[in-house]
Structure 1
């Protein structure tokens, strides 16, 4: 029954119950109790519906508040995740920069003594043969004194580029001192190394930079030593250094191999 029809029926029953001629009717009392019971039940149902509506409204509001909190929390977590990702990326860059700074020369980008030493120890542990060559730029101090350290740095970078372009991919070139470079020629005996260094020495003599339009080039001296099985790499380096000193004493612009 529709609400409108029910209201109409209840109104008719109420009107009948109020008529004086029906008060003494045998069904009057029963109908009146039934009417009141139905009215009470209807009021209870309406209260329950009202309570249910309020509960549903509160549930909807609570769900909306929860959803809003969840979305705020999600946005905050995403923001923190982006910050964390950025921080981790920054830390990786910092660590890479620190690693680069600890193992490479800042001017030339070549491996420094630490990294070269690690590579030497690795070759020794692998029982591989290798030859070392120490290269020194002739009269480099005069270049710095006459042309300034900026020109000296430019010359070092130009020589580094030529070294990197000329050496084999499995060789290692490191900056050993101010104007001194160390070549680690893996799987190479002394005779082959001598050929490589001589070819490299001639190429380095063709490296030219300009200072106020004036061309500037240099020569290099080199000392070589082949590693002996079982000896520390420091001994190999010492023999290469002694050969380099002899090359410089003999007039520079040459390469000599250690004889002992």
Structure 2
């Protein structure tokens, strides 16, 4: 029952409540690392074109890619429909940027394996440096600002993007 109460039922990742509790505890005892929030791009287009079960496969593929690439030392959670966050205690900005690229490749490969669809699973990321005593709410607010600035600057999806 403990596991059910602390994990997301679709992905098996931590849920928001559990992540928030563990992140706040980590920040109370140490500083450093990076906090990221990731939001899948164009999930609605996948749902509209292929159905919600395939959309679920996209979410699951992205979650599995996060776990595979980020590893056991990181806290990873699904905090909303297509939103995820992670705490990377030992990462710097360059490392995070490399990991984000790897997550994208792994997610696409996993989605292809699950569905047979070679669909670009793109996502936008906001990243912030962790500081002692900052709470989850403070970190998500800061990372959200960066995330939505990136989303506003990206191009709208086209038929070519869907087929790529």
Query: SS of 1:188's equivalent?
Result: coil
Corresponding residue for residue 208 of structure 1: 111
- Inter-partner Cα distance in structure 2 for 1:150 and 1:196: 27
- Inter-partner Cα distance in structure 1 for 2:22 and 2:67: 17
Is structure 2 residue 41 aligned with structure 1 residue 138? Answer: yes
TM-score by length of 1: 0.54
Is structure 2 residue 117 aligned with structure 1 residue 117? Answer: no
- Inter-partner Cα distance in structure 1 for 2:4 and 2:117: 34
| Larger Rg over CA atoms | 1
Corresponding residue for residue 5 of structure 1: none
Tell which deviates more after alignment, 242-251 or 182-191. Answer: 182-191
Is structure 2 residue 51 aligned with structure 1 residue 172? Answer: no
Query: SS of 1:209's equivalent?
Result: helix
8 Å CA contact 1:206, 1:217 repeated in 2: no
> Structure 1 residues 172 and 112, CA, compared in 2 at 3 Å: closer, same or farther?
same
Aligned length: 155
Query: SS of 1:208's equivalent?
Result: helix
Task: Output the aligned Cα RMSD.
Answer: 2.3
Give the structure with the higher percent helix. Answer: 1
Unpaired segments ≥5 residues, structure 2? 156-164
Q: After TM superposition, give the deviation of residue 214 of structure 1 in Å.
A: 4.7
8 Å CA contact 2:108, 2:119 repeated in 1: no
Task: Give the number of the structure with larger relative contact order, counting CA–CA contacts within 8 Å between residues 6 or more apart.
Answer: 2
Query: SS of 1:106's equivalent?
Result: coil
